[in-house]
Amino acid sequence: MKSFASIRPSTWLFYVGIVVVCMSPVWGVTYFVNQDGSGHVQTASLMGQLLAGNEAAAGFYKFNSIAVPNSSGHWILLFLLQIFPAFTVTKIFVSLSFAMFVGGAGWLRFQTAGPEGVKTSLMIGAALGFNWLWLVGFYNFTLGVICLMFVIGYFYRRVDRIGIADTILLSLLLMLVYFSHIVTFLILAGSIFVIILFTPGVRRTRTLLFAFFAVLPILPFALKFRSTNEDGFSPVWRGLDNAYSLTSWIHQMRIVDPFIIISRKTFPFVNEVSGGFAVFTPVLWIFIAFLCLTLASSVYYRKHPESLRPFAAFFVLVAGAMVLALFGPDDFSLTNGGVLRERFFICGLLFCIPLFRSAYSVWLKRAAQTCLLFVVAFQTMAVWEYALNSDKQSKIFMSASDLIRNSPSSAMITVKDGSLRFHADPVSQLNCYNGIGTNNIVWDNYEFGHYLFPLITKDPMGRQFIHDLTGSQYLGKDDADDAFGGYETKLARINSGLAIYNDRIETIVLWGRDERIEAILSKWYNTEPYFENGKLRLFHHK
């Protein structure tokens, strides 16, 4: 394997250039807000307050079990919050995670196949890095995938000569991935054993033993985490109406698309809505790019069949991840987290990176690169439009920030305006920023309604209320029944929850208008807002 010096300077410049261009929307506005990431930043801030001995925070929140895996991103956010303001921390984390995702794709290629094809792999990393999980703010999962790429690259290079020092380092890296995200840990642990079993020239018994000892320190944490789940693990196929229907299975496979940043029926900065815009769907062009690279690779492997055996493990990994992505369950109940199939889909595509060879098919490689660059350009434009929308709405929201922050407690309800244009909505969790650096208890941070994150509420009943509220607080009249219920179900949850907990919420933040929501609120809150700015209104408790 050649050293990093063998990578051309133009490749390094290309990497920096593509990251700068792709992240220009994030830094081109004042407020870049990405939905779930808002809750993560607030939780990280509260972790700092608990460590500092803040009595107000300690009266409501407590640290969760140390075994909870969804935490490494929060500790990084806490560190950044000691230096930068909260909105800047969001921008830094979003940008660094994207840059490291792209770099991880290049690293995986370089460590497994050498310098050839690194630039194409960086394009793949940029195209795949623009996924809606990143946009929404699945920080710990994104961090876990980044670590997964770096660990697999490192392990594959040393699998035939792993020793005690490597085992210790591997165990520490696995621990980092575990505390990032349980799904990426399971994928990584499985990948390590697949690499051992299917890579030629490996002393399997010895290497499997070392791998077992690397994983062993994580097992107590995993077992402890498993014991904290009271709801069990029941697989759910949410898009599958009939397990015996081919049409249902085709629909189930079709909806696995983690690259929908903007609706398939729209185009960035174009107001018209049309099914014809589906031709620009990123996943379609990613598929064409991968098809071109697969055809090019088939030409190479026909000429060099001996080159296939060292990479047999990656064929197995791609096949396994894609089977789970296309046919596996969507989740094991929402209390255990969701969006499983999209996570496997992303990892399955990343596992393709070591396999591509295009030395004898320059035109196919150029066609693939063109498709990938189109995806990157399209998604960058989509993120630019999202960023401008985020900035506009956040400025309206922040006009009331001082009033909300000075309130002892608050909760936000968001009324949607029809169908969503973007996969993320910056407003839905924006109130979480008002709980940063204040004693305001924010009841609509969804993290505190789950057992998956590093902080939980001291009151289990309050935790259930938060779970129900955050599953219902984002609603619209056109809501169909989904994992969180339809419009009527959400209204009923809000009503029943506030009937019990209204006296613990001083300020209701309402974004949008809905007469039935306002009728429910009027039971406990003043009918006239004490602040109003566009779609934003604040209501005091009676």
Give every CB contact of residue 194 below 8 A, 6+ residues apart in sequence. 313, 316, 317, 320
pLDDT at site 74: 96
List per-residue pLDDT tens for the chain, 542 residues long. 455 667 788 899 999 999 999 999 999 999 999 999 999 999 999 999 999 999 888 999 999 988 888 899 999 999 999 999 999 999 999 999 999 999 999 999 999 999 899 999 999 999 999 999 999 999 999 999 999 999 999 999 999 889 999 999 999 999 999 999 999 999 999 999 999 999 998 899 999 999 999 999 999 998 888 777 666 667 888 877 778 888 888 888 888 999 999 999 999 999 999 999 999 999 999 999 999 999 999 999 999 999 999 999 999 999 999 999 999 888 776 666 678 899 999 999 999 999 999 999 999 999 999 999 999 999 999 999 999 999 999 999 999 999 999 999 999 999 988 778 998 999 999 999 999 988 899 999 999 988 889 999 988 888 888 988 888 888 887 776 666 778 888 999 999 999 999 999 999 999 999 999 999 999 999 999 999 999 999 999 99
How far from 207 is each of 37, 158, 163, 197, 315, CA to CA, in Å? 39, 10, 8, 9, 20
| DSSP annotation of 504 | G
How far from 374 is each of 14, 239, 294, 302, 381, CA to CA, in Å? 16, 30, 19, 30, 11
pLDDT at site 230: 60
Other C-beta atoms within 10 Å of 403: how many? Answer: 15
C-alpha 374/C-alpha 356 separation (Å) is 20
C-alpha 166/C-alpha 169 separation (Å) is 5
Tell me if 251 sits within 8 A of 96, measured CB to CB: no
In the structure encoding, which two tokens stand for residue 8, read together?
């051309």
Crossing angle (nearest 10°) for helices 312-327 and 246-254: 110
pLDDT at site 336: 63
pLDDT at site 1: 46
Q: How many CA atoms lie within 13 A of 197 on its CB side?
A: 10
C-alpha 520/C-alpha 524 separation (Å) is 8
Tell me if 440 sits within 8 A of 404, measured CB to CB: yes
pLDDT digits (tens, 9 = 90+) for 465-492: 898 888 888 888 777 666 677 888 899 9
Tell me if 501 sits within 8 A of 405, measured CB to CB: no
